[in-house]
Amino acid sequence: MIINFKKQLTKITGQRGYTIIELIITLIVLLLIFPITSSIVISVLRYQDRLNKIAILRIEGQNIINFVRSHIRERTYWVYSNDPRSPPDTVECAASPSFYSSSNGYDIATSKPDFYFVTENELNWFTIFLRDGRNLEFETEIANPIIVNSQRVAVTSFSIYCIRKKNFSSPVVSYDFTLQVADLIPGVNPAKQTFIFHDKFKLQIN
């Protein structure tokens, strides 16, 4: 009976020892795998976030281009470098060859826009400009400025110019703007969270 008890004790002890070793090995494996798995999950989530940011930039950029096309391209006959309400009127790109450009569409010295679009017979005017390094603004003679972009993005740069190469052809207006997501992804180069957009259009024959 004593021998049987010793055998049983040895059997139990051996089973317990094997279970503890198994547990230790499992814990070690988990400790090794967890950081790797966590790193992979974080990388995937960050990549997905970056894709979402890129999608936002593309949508916002196209929205701005569509806004300019619908509110400016179809209605503009002339480009002025000063407020049409403040003579003398300065018409740009009226003859060829001519070129006129503006950085931000806004003159910091005068605190006024310096690129005005004027409709046929000079009945109405409107302008688009960047003055705070974040919001692209659109203004008309009858309304205060409105912000064209949403708060999901910041317009970090804006430039616009007109050029007329020949008298019998319409002036061409070209503009560029840079969009950056408002909430940058930590650890990712801001340049990789930025898009540059370009568009151009012809003015109505004048």
Q: Tens digit of pLDDT for each residue in 157-185?
A: 999 999 998 888 888 999 999 999 887 66
For the residues 184-201, what does the mean pLDDT come to? 78
For the residues 44-58, what does the mean pLDDT come to? 80
Task: Give the three-class secondary structure for 190.
Answer: helix
Contact between residue 138 and residue 145 where contact means Cβ atoms under 8 Å apart? yes
pLDDT value of position 2? 45
For the residues 7-28, what does the mean pLDDT come to? 63
Q: Name the pLDDT band for 206 (thresholds 50, 70, 90).
A: low
pLDDT value of position 181? 87
pLDDT value of position 148? 94
pLDDT value of position 160? 95
Residue 94 has pLDDT above 90, yes or no: no
Q: Name the pLDDT band for 87 (thresholds 50, 70, 90).
A: confident
Q: Give domain limits for the chain.
A: 49-202
For the residues 56-74, what does the mean pLDDT come to? 91
Residue 194 is inside which H or E element, if any? strand 194-202
Percent of the chain's residues with pLDDT above 90: 30
CB neighbour list of residue 177: distance below 8 Å, 6 or more residues apart: 61, 64, 130, 136, 155, 157, 158, 159, 196, 197
pLDDT value of position 40? 74
32/173: higher pLDDT: 173
pLDDT value of position 120? 78
Give the predicted TM-score (pTM) of the model: 0.73
pLDDT value of position 192? 67
pLDDT value of position 13? 47
Q: Is residue 61 exposed (0-12), middle (13-18) or buried (19+ Cβ within 10 Å)?
A: buried
